[in-house]
């Protein structure tokens, strides 16, 4: 293998008989080093003459990639460039991303991945991951056994029905599992061989896709109800047999399925839903950071979510737990969390509520709009997760600033086109007092000579570290306590200097360090709750760091 979980040896071990040579080696992205193959490697591996004579370092190759990357002015073109790099040289791709996260992560994930998913059939080049279609019912285990890497330890699976804030993209949603797993490797060092993207292609109700001749998915209406459940159940059971102990991350399922599937499987297999639990964790971390600025306790807060789906419910659940930990009883804590959906404030008198909304449907007179809810409830924080852009209006932000010395304004919907407001709007409309976080990146803002550096409340701060911790100690379950520990750990890595410039999260350049600490905190919970399947190492953080994939070349001879 090109890379290893363990410290590098000064003398490489003998290569196995199966190790490819010549053009087969150059075509294997997990082993290819391109022009960085040494003279000795070129002789031993049949590469002499197949490469230009000049031997380059990985650092030189990174510079070449960046030169071509910066030559492009279109985010989708940059996405295609990076995908092509991943297809030919895995280590170089991850080296570029880990060394330049601020530039690369908005391209390989939000916000550009949303556009990539919309255009997925048109930019498709080479298969990655596994496509399990409705026609595979009854033979899903056989399909999964076609995956060449038996060490797969983390699966990200979607059915493409609710991709970001873009809706039903069917099989085009495969860009999300691919992007998420790239972040697992880049942000937390989960080895690429341990990562398996899966698309459950059960059709789509998107008429534009069904009419698109370049659409890559099954051309049928989306399965639902029992038919969908049969596919998911067969997939979950087959995955456990083919990849024993594998962690399953459910991603971008529609609300009506996401909660139900999480409840169905969370106590049966090692799984979680990042839209519900990961979003909650990163949001709670941002709130903890904001409270360091306000000087107020968690138990003193009132939260109002714009949106009442997976993200809002997960956030409210974890915020309630945080308030209980700060001294409130559970009922009072839930009563401090409110939601507004497309029909107005979620209140107990409404008869149209989905099951997941009922815990946060409190006694209150109906309120028709978000501004009215802000005036009525006087929240200390507003959290936008409804994927409806522009609803944090000037009037809303000004009212928050009238109610609070330092209003907490989290516009978390993504991609950027779905954001509830921009960073500049939040700062300007609040009289420069907002404590702001977003779901997609915004550039620094300069107002009245002061520079504000907003940072994303991006799940990439959370789920890679959680996954690494779970995989490293072979935990049999993923629990809500792990996500609370992840939130507290992330918040602890926000410095006073970060807060002084308006940043509620650490720099993305520190994400691998933060992920190692999150993984350690998650592992501690696993050991505490008897969920870990290994003996506890004496130096748990050191053990976690040893597991992390390092995308630097190793010598083959």
Give the DSSP letter string of 319-355: HHHHHHHTT--HHHHHHTEEEEETTEE-BTT-S---G
180 is known as an active-site residue: yes
Give the DSSP letter string of 104-135: HHHHHSTTHHHHHHHTHHHH--S--SEEEEGG
CB count in 10 Å sphere of residue 277: 29
Listed in sequence order, the residues at least 6 apart from 79 whose beta carbon sits closer than 8 Å to its beta carbon are 107, 108, 112, 113, 115, 116, 123
For residues 190 and 192, give the distance between their C-alpha atoms in angstroms, rounded to a whole number: 6
109 is known as an active-site residue: yes
Three-class SS state of 43: helix
State the alpha helices, DSSP H only, in 354-422: 370-377, 394-403
Return the structure tokens found at 285: 């971390």
CB count in 10 Å sphere of residue 278: 27
Place of tokens 């997941």: 356
Three-class SS state of 285: helix
Beta pairing partners, 248: 155, 271
CA distances from 374 to 164, 388, 397, 403, 525 (A): 26, 17, 10, 9, 37
Return the structure tokens found at 159: 């059915």
The dihedral region occupied by 24, where left means phi > 0, alpha psi between -120 and 50, and beta the remainder, is alpha
For residues 105 and 469, give the distance between their C-alpha atoms in angstroms, rounded to a whole number: 22
Return the structure tokens found at 419: 């954001």
Which of 91, 5, 32, 191 has its CA nearest to residue 551? 91
User: Which candidate in 33, 180, 265, 360 is catalytic?
Assistant: 180
For residues 324 and 378, give the distance between their C-alpha atoms in angstroms, rounded to a whole number: 21
Place of tokens 């350049």: 509
User: Which candidate in 109, 184, 360, 556 is catalytic?
Assistant: 109
Asked if 486 and 419 touch (Cβ cutoff 8 Å), the reply is no
Return the structure tokens found at 188: 């937390």
Beta pairing partners, 381: 303, 408
Half-sphere exposure of 37 (CA within 13 A, CB side): 27
Q: Hey, what's the torsion of the CAs at 389, 393, 396, 398, to 10 degrees?
A: 140
- Which positions are annotated as active-site residues? 109, 180
């Amino acid at each position: 293998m090109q890379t290893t979980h363990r410290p590098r040896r000064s003398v490489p071990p003998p290569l196995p008989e199966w190790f490819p040579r010549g053009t087969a080696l150059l075509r294997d992205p997990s082993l290819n080093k391109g022009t960085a193959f040494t003279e000795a490697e070129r002789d031993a591996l049949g590469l002499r003459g197949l490469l230009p004579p000049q031997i380059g370092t990985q650092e030189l190759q990174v510079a070449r990639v960046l030169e071509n990357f910066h030559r492009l002015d279109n985010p989708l073109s940059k996405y295609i460039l990076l995908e092509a790099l991943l297809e030919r040289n895995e280590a170089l791709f991850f080296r570029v991303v880990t060394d330049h996260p601020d530039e690369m992560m908005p391209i390989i994930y939000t916000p550009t991945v949303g556009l990539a998913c919309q255009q997925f059939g048109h930019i498709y080049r080479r298969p990655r991951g596994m496509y399990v279609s409705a026609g595979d019912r009854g033979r899903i285990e056989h399909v999964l056994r076609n995956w060449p890497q038996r060490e797969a330890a983390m699966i990200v699976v979607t059915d493409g029905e609710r991709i970001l804030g873009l809706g039903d993209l069917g099989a085009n949603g495969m860009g999300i599992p691919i992007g998420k797993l790239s972040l697992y490797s880049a942000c937390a060092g989960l080895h690429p061989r341990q990562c398996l993207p899966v698309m459950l292609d059960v059709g789509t109700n998107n008429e534009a896709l069904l009419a698109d001749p370049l659409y890559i998915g099954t051309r049928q209406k989306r399965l639902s109800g029992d038919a969908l459940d049969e596919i998911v159940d067969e997939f979950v059971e087959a995955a456990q047999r083919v990849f024993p102990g594998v962690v399953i991350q459910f991603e971008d399922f529609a609300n009506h399925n996401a909660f139900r599937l999480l409840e169905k499987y969370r106590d049966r297999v090692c799984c979680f839903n990042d839209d519900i639990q990961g979003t909650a964790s990163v949001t709670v971390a941002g709130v903890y950071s904001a409270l360091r600025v306000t000087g107020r306790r968690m138990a003193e807060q009132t939260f109002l979510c714009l949106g009442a789906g997976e993200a809002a419910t997960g956030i409210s659940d974890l915020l309630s737990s945080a308030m209980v930990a700060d001294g409130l009883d559970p009922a009072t804590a839930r009563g401090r969390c409110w939601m507004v959906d497309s029909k107005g404030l979620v209140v107990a008198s409404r008869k149209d509520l989905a099951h997941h909304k009922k815990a946060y449907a409190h006694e209150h007179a109906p309120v028709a709009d978000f501004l009215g809810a802000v005036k009525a409830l006087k929240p200390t924080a507003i959290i936008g997760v409804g994927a409806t852009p522009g609803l944090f209006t000037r009037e809303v932000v000004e009212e928050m600033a009238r109610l609070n010395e330092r209003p907490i304004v989290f516009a978390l919907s993504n991609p950027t086109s779905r954001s509830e407001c921009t960073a500049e709007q939040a700062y300007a409309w609040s009289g420069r007092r907002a404590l702001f976080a977003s779901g997609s990146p915004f550039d620094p803002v300069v107002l009245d000579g002061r520079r504000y550096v907003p940072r994303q409340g991006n799940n990439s701060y959370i789920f890679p570290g959680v996954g690494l911790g779970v995989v490293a100690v072979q935990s049999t379950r993923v629990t809500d306590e792990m996500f609370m520990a992840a939130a507290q750990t992330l918040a602890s890595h926000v410095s006073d200097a970060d807060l002084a410039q308006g940043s509620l999260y650490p720099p993305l350049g520190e994400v691998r360090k933060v992920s190692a600490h999150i993984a350690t905190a998650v592992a501690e919970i696993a050991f505490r709750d008897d969920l870990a399947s290994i003996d506890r190492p004496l130096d748990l953080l050191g053990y976690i760091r040893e597991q992390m994939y390092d995308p630097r070349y190793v010598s083959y001879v």
